[in-house]
């Protein structure tokens, strides 16, 4: 049976991600234990908070190096995705450094409301097993004020005030800025792809 570890980094979406996995027939283990994370077949790092708070929680649990050196597929969700990058402008926080680039605040004005909250359109940039079956024009649900840049690792992009990475992947590491647990068919597809294929 596949072992899925859900990293308990204090994110408010922990329960909803757990339920989304249960809907796919997977009972994940919510844990802050490095050994369980290392032994899992798949690892998910959720987060709904600030980059500083979640990184602080990972340091308290002594999980920073565990995640940096993890050899299994790792999926970051929302703030969990942002922590995969080198740094976040939100509190000027050093992050995990698994993906190149810095997370910055989305630009807003009278017409562009921040935080970016609600459904938005996805634009495929690369074909990978993680986003198999997700098409141009499909929608996902976002709640965030900061976002990762569109780099060579960007798989799906989105636009709200600026173009940003909605899904990124490099090797065994990937992230989704949107909430798969709240993104209906698209979110379920992304999670199912991750569970079935890893990040091949």
- Give the whole-angstrom CA distance, residue 28 versus residue 17: 9
Question: Of these residues, 116, 144, 160, 179, which one is catalytic?
Answer: 179
Question: Of these residues, 78, 95, 154, 158, which one is catalytic?
Answer: 78
- Give the whole-angstrom CA distance, residue 9 versus residue 192: 22
What are the φ/ψ torsions at residue 25 (nearest 5 degrees)? 85, 20
- Give the whole-angstrom CA distance, residue 176 versus residue 167: 4
Q: Are 5 and 40 in contact (CB under 8 A)?
A: yes
Structure tokens, 141: 């649900």
- Give the whole-angstrom CA distance, residue 31 versus residue 45: 10
| Rounded alpha-carbon distances, angstroms, from residue 187 to 17, 83, 136, 174 | 10, 20, 14, 14
Q: For 1-60, give the secondary structure using H, E and C.
A: CCCEEEECCCCCCHHHHHHHHHHCCCCCEEECCHHHHHHCCEEEECCCCCHHHHHHHHHH
Decide if 78 is catalytic.
yes
Question: Of these residues, 65, 154, 181, 197, which one is catalytic?
Answer: 181
Catalytic site positions: 78, 179, 181
């Amino acid at each position: 049976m596949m072992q899925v570890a859900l990293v308990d980094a204090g994110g408010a979406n922990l329960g909803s991600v757990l339920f989304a996995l249960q809907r796919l027939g997977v009972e994940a283990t919510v844990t802050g234990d490095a050994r369980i994370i290392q032994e899992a077949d798949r690892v998910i790092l959720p987060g709904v908070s600030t980059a500083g708070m979640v990184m602080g929680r990972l340091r308290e649990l002594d999980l920073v190096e565990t995640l940096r050196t993890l050899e299994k597929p790792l999926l970051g969700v929302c703030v969990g995705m942002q922590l995969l990058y080198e740094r976040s402008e939100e509190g000027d926080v050093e992050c995990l450094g698994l993906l190149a680039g810095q997370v910055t605040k989305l630009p807003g004005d009278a017409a562009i409301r921040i935080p970016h909250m609600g459904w938005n359109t996805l634009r495929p940039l690369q074909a990978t097993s993680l986003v198999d079956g997700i098409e141009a024009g499909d929608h996902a649900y976002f709640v965030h004020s900061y976002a990762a840049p569109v780099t060579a690792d960007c798989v799906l992009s989105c636009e709200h005030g600026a173009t940003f990475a909605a899904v990124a992947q490099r090797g065994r590491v990937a992230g989704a800025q949107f909430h798969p647990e709240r993104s209906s068919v698209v979110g379920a597809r992304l999670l199912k792809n991750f569970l079935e294929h890893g990040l091949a």
